[in-house]
Structure 1
Amino acid sequence: MSEQPAGRRESAAGVESATIQPIPPDERHGTNRDMFTIWFGTNIMILSVVTGGLATTLFGQPAWSAALGIVVGNLFGAVFMALHSAQGPRLGVPQMVQTKGQFGSWGALLIVLIVVVMYLGFFISILVFGGQSLASVIPHLSSKAGIVLLAAASIAATIWGYSLIHAYARIMTYASGAVLLLAFVWAFVVHPVPHTFFSTGEATLSGFMSTVSVAAVWQIAYAPYVSDYSRYMPAKTGSKPAFWMSYWGTSIGSILPMFLGAGIGLLLPGADPIAALTQATAGISLLVVAVFSIGVAATNAMNLYCGTLCTITIVQTCLPRFTARGRERALVAAGLCTLALAVALTSGSGFVATYNNFLTLLLGSLVPWTAVNLVDFYLVRHGDYAVEDFFERDGGRYGRVNWPAVLCYLVGVVVQIPFMIIGTAYTGPIAKALGNTDISFIAGLVVVSPLYYFTARAVAGLRTAVAVEEVPVLAQGETGA
């Protein structure tokens, strides 16, 4: 593991100057441990606890089936997340900038725009949910005041940038980790566990697969984020350490709070998740909910930071001479935060559930992008990209639109529809036949990965054959210079 000289490391107190530009080798800093702490520290939060609770409350699984589904789903989904993370040290640019290498400069715009909407959706939902959580444990604090506090913390971290977000995550690794351990002890040791704890629920294939799907999609949803937080790492630290640190950081950081949520769901079935967590940790509930809500702020800072970089990417694609630095990042972040805050403060009580259905659609549209991106990076180009061409008006060697990638992506979106469940609004015929189980992400990955690989190889072979035919044949007896 390689350490960057101390003089080259940006202080967390300093404002980051770069945005989407490639990070030069002499400005790289950090260690692979940073990949562990940022994903461990930001996953331990209220939302991961609530997500784990779905296994025993919504899906009705017993303790063993819920735990197994949570482990399998997270370990599977984290593979794709960590493969994206390993791209950062190699290319030194944000995740969605290097998407131009697969889809072309203009072909990537639709996907980047979808990702911006996803970031804003998560940002708004977390503001609403986090504000309500803070209001539930802090006397005289309204949910709207909690929303404003979380938004302020998020925009501050976004303005200061990369190093402060990493520092924030390092602190939360220790703070949230300690409180999570305390919550386990308090809920299952200090308070007696009922004798029905291990016999509640019925293991079913559909319930188990739904638990696996929720946990896997939790990890896959991080795919557009990860290179944004590994792009400063020195290239010589290598992709493998970045992969494994990201993998275990996000896996362990998600599995443990999901275990807590699943366990609390068995302790207090049918109760509101926040109320159940508060009751199960009675005596220390203020500390638990407050620290986990601060963890929400750390995650939301990442949402706003990534959304800002993607917005800058869209502007730069349309205006190639545009160069954004720290000031422009602050202005874009302020605009996005203002928009999100306005929606969060005026949302009704059913906003989060309604918007989460919309986010299901957005996440479904990202699965085929993940497949195209990873196959292209690891199997087609083997990480060999001309980074400078990402910023060319015509896309350089990647062109404006890479139609094979775009068409494979569209096929991947369509093939998932019969497998999808979008709240109560839509249940696909195959999902219904599987006992109301959404495995659309598996269908997307299984179809798009080989489809794009063989399509890309065929197109590359065709281009090579055409190039050979265009080479002028030297006249007999003539020699080249």
Structure 2
Amino acid sequence: MDATRPPRAAPATARHAAVPAAGPVATGPGADTAPRPGGVAIETRSIDYVPARERHGKVWHQGPFWFTGNFVLTTMVTGFIGPALGLGWSVPAVVLGACFGTFFMAFHANQGPRMGLPQMIRSRARFGIRGAIVPFVAVVFVYVGFNVFNVVPATEGLQTVLPGGSTLWYAVLISIAIVLAVVGHDLLHLVQRWLTYALIAVFGVLSVGAMVNLDVATPAGGDGMSWTAFLVVFSGAAGYQISYAVHVSDYSRHLPADVPARKVIWWTYAGAAGSAAWLMSLGALLASALPDPDAIGAVRKVGNDIVPGFGTFAVLVSSLALISIMAVNAYGAMLTATSAIDAFRPVRPTVRVRVAGIVAIEAIVFVVAIVLPDDYLGSFNDFVLMMLYFLIPWTAVNLVDLYLVRRGHYAVTAIFDPRGIDGRWSWRGLTAYTVGFAAMIPFFKTSFFTGPVADALDGADLSFVVGLLVGGALYAWLCRDLDLTAERAAERASEAELEGADAPQGV
């Protein structure tokens, strides 16, 4: 199957005789029951394959899902970086960075309906079943970090109208996120879709009010153009968007396999890039016009200047969106962590395992949030850059493999079989990732380390360009002698196994 076309035959079941424990087997109650139209039930799928008869949903739902997924106060904080560096051209920098980073995210979304598997477990085809632990560790770090930086502003937002200390609200909000993540895919899509309408209405008014009422003729951060600052902001916005690539097809894998690739990519891109460019630009505008801005205070001030109390209402709506994306991150972290464990010790993907994984991840988030310093903006800036550094070589290898090397042809069963075509350790993917990351180090620019090339360029961070080019080009070169004939044979055997398992059994 070509990466841009649906597969010629959609596998119809998740039952694999060859890999009963580690393979794509659904063992929870009701695992073989398709979702009821219009209803929401606890999801039974985990790292296992979603069979054709359970595929459902509309491709346009990817748009509002990722619109709300990005329309959170954490995204706005990314827009504060430019004015803090004295960059007057902060809005073009974040818009271009967001649009660039979303390009890589959206093209990952196309894998979901083609393979019916979560995003990160498919890294096994590039890095090997155990070798994929390398990007898995980085991705879990991203999930935990994001949820820490989400629960803090969500708590601050609720504390504007409700009593209670931070620790109490951290526990309450994390618990709500756990419930949403446990119910899973369909509820998350439903919540994200309805929040999109509310966010567009509320922040549409807020954005117009900011442009009308704020004086940005002389930005507080400066009005000059610095290519160094521009690249820092561009990289931050791009890295923020690329980080979403690690779970983008977790929420497209339930779509029917015959949905057009261009629609999956377009709706994902439109939702994610649109909301990020909007909210990052608003953040840059607020930071340029207000002294010492913070996300909660800036939204309240601008909104209350429009209509008394409207700013507080906008903060509360923003807090709901933060809770929702915390659930999305917890869900993705569970899938990634389960995939990592399964590589060394077979895991039966039951509902109990899903719940335990989600709770464990969110317990870590709770502990880290408690010890996070009050002045976390500087930590957030470094966190965004570190995401970029770890994920750029992964996304380069992943996309080159998908669109240039294997062209969408994968053996689903082999992804769960240590003796399969992918093997335990894939030296090609691991070499390209490691070399790509190492090539980026001289270009790093953070608060705690500046690479020699970045220092020579007056602090300009071009590491993302180097990582993409080196990691992607090296992987393509290393795969020049890859035995695609064996790959195709494994794919045909996988399809036969998947399809045969769903054939009538003596009925």
Q: 2:331 is matched with which residue: 305, 316, 321?
A: 305
Q: 1:295 — aligned with what?
A: 321
Q: CA deviation at 1:310?
A: 1.1
- Going from structure 1 to structure 2, the CA distance change for 1:456 and 1:318 (only over 3 Å counts) comes to same
Choose which of 369, 385, 389 in structure 2 pairs with 1:364: 389
Residues 1:214 and 2:214 aligned together: no
Question: 1:31 is matched with which residue: 58, 62, 69?
Answer: 58
1:469 alignment partner in structure 2: none
Counterpart Cα distance in 2 of 1:202 and 1:142:
42
| C-alpha distance 300-23 of structure 1, shift in aligned 2 (>3 A) | same
CA contact (8 A) 1:78 1:251 kept: yes
Following TM superposition, by how much is the alpha carbon of 1:352 offset from its aligned partner in structure 2, in angstroms?
6.5
The alpha-carbon distance between structure 1 residues 215 and 362, as it changes in their structure 2 partners (threshold 3 A), is closer
Would you say 1:324 and 2:349 are equivalent positions?
yes
Within the candidate set 141, 152, 155, 1:131 is matched to: 155
Deviations 1:450-475 (A, max 9, x none): 111111113449999xxxxxxxxxxx
DSSP-derived class of the 2:84 partner: coil
> Given residue 43 of structure 2, which amino acid in structure 1 is its aligned partner?
E
Query: In structure 2, what is the Cα distance between the partners aligned to 1:356 and 1:334?
Result: 27
Query: What's the counterpart of residue 338 of structure 1?
Result: 363
Give the match for residue 474 of structure 1: none
- State the match for 1:98 in structure 2: 122
Cross-structure match for 2:262:
240
Q: Does 2:200 correspond to 1:177? A: yes
1:267 aligns with 2:267: no
1:401–1:74 CA distance, 2 compared to 1 (3 A): same
8 Å Cα contact 1:79-1:247 kept in structure 2: yes
* Distance change >3 Å, CA 149–CA 177, structure 1 → 2: farther
Structure 2 counterpart SS, 1:386: coil
Asked if 2 retains the 8 angstrom alpha-carbon contact of 1:32 and 1:241, the reply is yes
CA contact 1:86–1:243 (8 Å) conserved in 2 = yes
Identity of aligned residues (%): 32
The Cα of 1:72 is off from its aligned counterpart by 1.3
Counterparts in 2 of 1:44 and 1:361: CA distance versus 1, 3 Å: closer
Partners of 1:59 and 1:210 within 8 A in 2: no
Q: Which residue number in structure 2 is paired with residue 54 of structure 1? A: 81
Contact 2:440 2:463 in 1 (8 A): yes
- The separation in 2 between residues aligned to 1:337 and 1:192, in whole angstroms, is 39
Structure 2: state its 5+ residue gaps: 1-5, 7-33, 488-507
Q: What amino acid is the match of 2:184?
A: G
Structure 1 residue 200: deviation in Å? 5.1
Q: Distance in 1 between matches of 2:273 and 2:463?
A: 21
- Once the two structures are TM-superposed, the CA of residue 298 in structure 1 deviates from its matched residue by 1.4
Q: Which amino acid aligns with 2:478?
A: T
Does residue 158 (structure 1) correspond to residue 184 (structure 2)? The answer is no
Instruction: Tell me how far 1:268 sits from its aligned partner.
Output: 0.7
Q: Measure, in 1, the Cα distance between the counterparts of 2:85 and 2:214.
A: 25
Alignment of 1:415-426 (within 5 A): 415-422=439-446, 424-426=447-449
- 1:350: how far off? 4.6
Do the aligned residues in 2 keep the contact of 1:134 with 1:141 (CA within 8 Å)? no
Q: In the comparison of the two structures, how many residue pairs are matched?
A: 451
Residue aligning to 1:401: 425
8 Å Cα contact 2:243/2:387 also seen in 1: no
Higher deviation after alignment, 10-19 or 159-168: 10-19
Structure 1 contact 74–255 (Cα < 8 Å) conserved: yes
Residue 201 of structure 1 deviates from its aligned partner by 1.6
Counterpart CA distance in 2 for 1:316 and 1:124 is 26
TM value normalised by structure 1:
0.88
More displaced 10-residue stretch of structure 1: 309-318 or 251-260: 309-318
Instruction: Give distance in 1, aligned partners of 2:404 and 2:173.
Output: 41
Cα drift, residue 192 of structure 1: 5.3
Which residue number in structure 2 is paired with residue 119 of structure 1? 143
Distance 1:296 1:25 in 2: 32
Give the counterpart letter for 1:86 in structure 2: N
Q: Report deviation, 1:379.
A: 0.4
Structure-2 separation of matches of 1:197 and 1:58: 10
| CA distance in structure 1 between the aligned counterparts of 2:422 and 2:54, rounded to whole angstroms | 27
Gaps of 5+ in 1: 465-481
Amino acid at match of 1:313: S
Supply the distance in 1 between the matched residues of 2:325 and 2:39 (Cα, whole angstroms): 17
Per the normalisation by structure 2, the TM-score is: 0.84
Counterpart in 1 of 2:68?
41
Distance change in 2, residues 1:8/1:159 (3 Å)? closer
For 1:351 and 1:67, the matched residues in 2 are separated by 22
Q: How far did residue 171 of structure 1 move?
A: 1.2
Aligned-pair distance for 1:330? 1.0
